[in-house]
A and B are shown apart, each in its own frame.
Chain A
Amino acid sequence: MTVPTAEGSTRYAGARINRVEDARLLSGRGTFVDDVSLPGTLHACFVRSPFPRATIRGIDTSAALALPGVCAVFTAVDLSPDVKEQWHTSVGPDGPETPRPPLAEGEVRFVGDAVALVVAESRYLAEDAADLVEVDYDPLPAVVDYTTAEQAVTLVHEGHGSNLIGEMSGLPAAALQEVFDSAAHVVGETIYQQAYVPVPMEGRALLVDYSAPTGELTIYSATQAPHEVRLFCSRLLGVPEQKVRVIARDTGGGFGQKIMVQREEMCIMLAARKVPGPLKWIEDRRENLIAAGQSRHEHAAVKMAFDAEGKIQAAQIDFVSDCGAYPTPYPVSTSSVVGALFPGPYRVPRASFTAKTIYTNTVGRTPYRGPWQFESLAREMLLDIAARRIGMDPMELRRRNLLRRDELPYTNPNGMPFDNISPMETFEQALDMLDYPAFRKEQAEARAAGRYLGVGISNYVEPSAPGFGYYATEAATIRIEPSGKVNVYIAGGSTGNSIETTVVQLAADALGVAIEDVATIQGDTAVTGFGAGAAGSRSASMTAGAIRETAAILRERIKAIAAHKLEAAPEDIELGNSRASVRGTPTIGVSLGELARAAYFDPYSLPPGVPAGLEASARYTADTRFVWVNATHLCTCEVDVATGAVKLLRYIVSEDCGPMINPSVVEGQIAGGVVQGIGGVLYEHLAYDEDGNPVTTTFMDYLIPTATEVPVIEYGHIETPSGGPGGYKGVGEGGAIGAPPAVVNAVADAVSPFGVTVTRLPLGPAQVLALIETNQA
Chain B
Amino acid sequence: MGEATVNVTVNGRAWEAVVEARLTLADFLRETCHLTGTHLGCEHGVCGACSVLIDGAAVRSCLMFAVQADGAEVTTIEGIGAPDGELSSVQAAFRDCHGLQCGFCTPGFVVSVTAFLQDNANPTDREIREALSGNLCRCTGYQGILYAVHQAAGAAGQQEPA
Q: Find the B residue at minimum CB distance from A200.
A: B138
B85–chain A nearest beta-carbon distance, Å: 7
Q: Within 8 Å of chain B (Cβ to Cβ): is A166?
A: no
A668 near B143 with CB under 8 A, answer yes
A700 near B46 with CB under 8 A, answer yes
A668 near B98 with CB under 8 A, answer yes
Q: Which of A28-56 contact B (CB under 8 A)?
A: 28-30, 32, 34-35, 37
A293–chain B nearest beta-carbon distance, Å: 15
Q: Which of B43-90 contact A (CB under 8 A)?
A: 43-44, 46-47, 49, 76-78, 80-81, 85, 87
Q: Find the A residue at minimum CB distance from B108.
A: A201
B132 in complex: contacting residue of A18, A497, A707, CB < 8 Å: A707
B98 near A667 with CB under 8 A, answer yes
A22 near B144 with CB under 8 A, answer no
Known: A201-B41, A707-B145. A672 touches B101 (CB 8 A): yes
B36 near A35 with CB under 8 A, answer yes
A668 near B36 with CB under 8 A, answer no
B contact patch SS: loop
Find chain B residues with CB under 8 A from A704 CB: 136, 138
B95 near A22 with CB under 8 A, answer yes
B39 near A32 with CB under 8 A, answer yes
Q: Find the A residue at minimum CB distance from B78.
A: A28
B102 in complex: contacting residue of A201, A284, A664, A667, CB < 8 Å: A201
Q: Within 8 Å of chain B (Cβ to Cβ): is A710?
A: yes
Q: How many A-B residue pairs have CB under 8 A?
A: 182
Interface residue range, chain A: 35 or more
A99–chain B nearest beta-carbon distance, Å: 32
Binary interface encoding of chain B residues 19-33 relative to chain A, with 1 for a CB under 8 A from any of its CBs, else 0: 010110000001100
Q: Which of A693-748 contact B (CB under 8 A)?
A: 698-700, 704-708, 710, 712-713, 735
Known: A28-B78, A29-B37, A672-B141. A285 touches B43 (CB 8 A): yes
A124–B49 Cα gap in the complex (Å)? 20
Binary interface encoding of chain B residues 135-152 relative to chain A, with 1 for a CB under 8 A from any of its CBs, else 0: 111111111111000000
Q: Within 8 Å of chain B (Cβ to Cβ): is A25?
A: yes
A18 near B96 with CB under 8 A, answer yes
Q: Within 8 Å of chain A (Cβ to Cβ): is B6?
A: no
Residues of B in contact (CB 8 Å), total 58
Binary interface encoding of chain A residues 233-275 relative to chain B, with 1 for a CB under 8 A from any of its CBs, else 0: 0000000000000000011110100000000000000000000
A497 in complex: contacting residue of B101, B128, B137, CB < 8 Å: B101
Known: A25-B100, A26-B87, A707-B132. A253 touches B139 (CB 8 A): yes
Known: A671-B140, A707-B133, A710-B143. A285 touches B41 (CB 8 A): yes
Find chain A residues with CB under 8 A from B139 CB: 201, 253, 496, 668, 672
B39 near A252 with CB under 8 A, answer yes
Q: Find the A residue at minimum CB distance from B128.
A: A707
Find chain B residues with CB under 8 A from A667 CB: 98, 143
Find chain A residues with CB under 8 A from B132 CB: 706-708
A698 near B42 with CB under 8 A, answer yes
Q: Within 8 Å of chain A (Cβ to Cβ): is B8?
A: no
A172–chain B nearest beta-carbon distance, Å: 41
B46 near A698 with CB under 8 A, answer yes
Find chain A residues with CB under 8 A from B30 CB: 34-35
B40–chain A nearest beta-carbon distance, Å: 8
A671 near B37 with CB under 8 A, answer no
Q: Within 8 Å of chain B (Cβ to Cβ): is A332?
A: no
Known: A255-B138, A706-B132, A707-B142. A27 touches B96 (CB 8 A): no
A710–B130 Cα gap in the complex (Å)? 12
Known: A201-B104, A707-B129. A26 touches B143 (CB 8 A): no
Q: Within 8 Å of chain A (Cβ to Cβ): is B35?
A: yes
A202 near B39 with CB under 8 A, answer yes
B143–chain A nearest beta-carbon distance, Å: 4
Find chain B residues with CB under 8 A from A498 CB: 101
Find chain B residues with CB under 8 A from A285 CB: 41-44, 47
Find chain A residues with CB under 8 A from B42 CB: 285, 698-699
Give residues in A with beta carbon < 8 Å to B: 18-19, 21-30, 32, 34-35, 37, 124, 198-202, 250-253, 255, 284-285, 494-498, 664-665, 667-668, 671-676, 698-700, 704-708, 710, 712-713, 735
Inter-chain pairs besides A494-B102, A496-B103, 7 sampled, C-beta below 8 Å: A27-B77, A28-B77, A34-B36, A252-B102, A285-B42, A699-B47, A713-B143
